[in-house]
Amino acid sequence: MAQNFEQALHHGIVVFDGPMGTELYRHHIFTNRCFDELNLTDPALIRQVLTDYRNAGADVLTTNTFSANRVVLEKYGIADKLTAINEAGARIARELADESDSETKIFVAGSVGPIPQGTATDVELEAMILEQVDPLVKGGADFILFETLPSRDAMERCARAMTKRPDVPFAVSCTVISGKESASGEPIARLLAPMPEDCATPIAFGLNCGVGPDGILEAVEEAVHVTTLPLIVQPNAGTPKGFEGRQIYYCSPEYVATYAMRFVNLGVAAVGGCCGVTPEHIREIVKMVKPLAKGRTARTALKAVQPEVEEKPETPLSDRSRLGWKIAHRLWVTTVELVPPRGYDMSETIEKSAKLHRFGIDAINIPDGPRASSRISPLVVAQKILREANIEPILHFCCRDRNLIGMQADLLGCAAFGIRNLLFVTGDPPKLGHYPDATGVFDTDSIGMCAVQRRLNRGVDLGGQSIDPATQTVIGVGLDPTSLDRKRERERFKAKIDAGAEFAITQPVFDPDALLTFLDEIGDCPIPIIAGIWPLASYRNAEFMRNEVPGVVVPDATMNRMRAVSKQSKDDQLKVGIDIAREMIEAIKSRINGVQISAPFGRVEIAMAVLR
């Protein structure tokens, strides 16, 4: 367990709580009140808000002292209570943190917001900062969080004041608006530059408020490259909209948490929320990012090769499998996806695979717990298909369910069974399936597993030890050309190739223009791309794909075509779905190296009809 907050930032992922202001507003405390004074007049309410955040799984509780500075409190005629308000705010949060039965330590952030400058001199502003810092520390704050700062000057002023309190750790967080700039128009590189010599060095920089998750993402992408300090990211829950005199934030917990995962994958040390974020949002963030805490990426998991160990030459791609031979020669590949059964009777799966083999399909794709479902081991299914249907499997290998030791064991098991074609995917969060309380492991991601497998192909394991013989695996990865964050998807695809990927299979694509545009953005792709094609079985199937399958975008034109036949028979709807799939292949075939056809509801005849 980390003993202090700075250690926590460097060991795992820290989840902050959400805002105090909008939560108090949700509790019917309106803006004509001094929110900070509630530490004295209604401590039970403040305690309740912080308890909700603590119970949601937050690692950091932030004091209700954002505006408890002399300038603001004087407007309410209570500046004489400044010390008592700040100390009480810290004490409430400290008590709740210490009462927690959490396995990990809960930290208290002493919140200090921007102080209106007015006619105050720098010396006077420094004094006002410290008169708020001192009682926060006395009340039990682990560190000071200067948040929602509007400019670099404000950040430096806080850091300069903290030279007078060298033993007090602090972080400075600024507000960004559209265009990756502060409210005063300063770029990220300026905001997060190292502090000058006359300032104390913060333990972390932060970005908070101003914009929602999507708006802050671009700033985060740049911020992780311009500072070596840990980064704390706390966006708003989108942009508020007025409704009957109230300001409502509409971003769902799932939406905010999805972006929190993106921030973490970019290298952010801590995530949380600002205006509009609720305990429900924090609970969802905890569920989705905590499994990533054990390892942000697999690329750091590889131990250095032992001095006496030499990497062996990799087996040529064309010699590893029949699929590898076709990929190496850039020949057209056809595969069909079959989902493993829920039980253990695999006779029907084997029969379908054999039928597809006779039809001329090159390989059978076997998903690994799609949409966080629990089914028979896909490794066992792959072995049975290879031996009894005489067709090569492409085994999807999910990083969600096993730690690195278990994953390496399964990779060696695949090699022992002769399963040579693997498609590495990070995996859907457990929440998506029927077992939402299951723990996702996520020791690594698909990029890291490519690196692990490539090392095994060279005869070296995770620990840098020699294995003999080396594995002979064809390394595949997933690709999402309709990703909302196309830049990130391109960067991750490049990273997968750099880590060892030798072919890619896309998510089901329903919009040929989207795929072609994405391929244009990639440019000259060094590995073959196989397009995922899903023949829609009905209008209802189209609605399901559009609304409930992560990463799949069904365009309006396709929905309209399926809707037009929705009152007709199932066979008529299926015929239109097959036509759409065929048209999709025709539109993209000159730019890809093959197709993976899904078999809706396990009906391989549909996949065969698309190819026929």
pLDDT, tens digit (0-9, with 9 covering 90-100), for 251-286:
788 888 888 988 988 889 999 999 989 999 999 999
Tell me which residue range forms the domain holding 492: 299-611
The reply to whether 235 and 276 lie within a common domain is yes
**DSSP structural state of residue 552:** -
- pLDDT for the residue numbered 399: 80
Spatial separation of the C-alpha atoms in residues 535 and 59, rounded to whole Å: 45
- pLDDT for the residue numbered 183: 75
The reply to whether 456 and 400 lie within a common domain is yes
| Domain end position, chosen among 244, 271, 296 | 296
CATH number at residue 153: 3.20.20.330
The reply to whether 321 and 289 lie within a common domain is no
At 364, the amino acid letter reads I
Please give the average per-residue pLDDT across 65-85, as a whole number. Answer: 96
Q: Is the pLDDT of residue 419 over 50?
A: yes
Its pTM stands at 0.59
The reply to whether 275 and 373 lie within a common domain is no
List Cβ neighbours of 329 (8 Å cut-off, separation of 6 or more): 318
- pLDDT for the residue numbered 297: 43
The reply to whether 375 and 501 lie within a common domain is yes
The reply to whether 332 and 343 lie within a common domain is yes
Please give the average per-residue pLDDT across 340-350, as a whole number. Answer: 92
pLDDT confidence band for 369 (50 / 70 / 90): low
CATH number at residue 407: 3.20.20.220
| pLDDT, mean over the chain | 89
Q: Are 137 and 110 in contact (CB under 8 A)?
A: yes
The reply to whether 235 and 334 lie within a common domain is no
Q: Are 597 and 334 in contact (CB under 8 A)?
A: yes
List Cβ neighbours of 33 (8 Å cut-off, separation of 6 or more): none
| Domain end position, chosen among 250, 278, 296 | 296
Instruction: Kindly report the length of the chain.
Output: 612
The reply to whether 285 and 316 lie within a common domain is no
Closest CA to 271 of 60, 41, 16, 4: 16
The reply to whether 409 and 461 lie within a common domain is yes
Alpha-carbon Rg for the chain, nearest whole angstrom, is 28
pLDDT confidence band for 299 (50 / 70 / 90): very low
The reply to whether 292 and 407 lie within a common domain is no
Q: Are 579 and 553 in contact (CB under 8 A)?
A: no
The reply to whether 291 and 310 lie within a common domain is no
pLDDT digits (tens, 9 = 90+) for 547-602: 766 667 888 899 999 999 999 999 999 999 999 999 999 999 999 999 999 998 88
The reply to whether 391 and 289 lie within a common domain is no
**DSSP structural state of residue 92:** H
Q: Are 224 and 268 in contact (CB under 8 A)?
A: yes
How many structural domains is the chain composed of? Answer: 2
The residues pairing with 397 across neighbouring beta strands, listed in sequence order, are 424
pLDDT confidence band for 295 (50 / 70 / 90): very low
φ and ψ of 205, to 5 deg: -100, 160
| Domain end position, chosen among 272, 296, 320 | 296
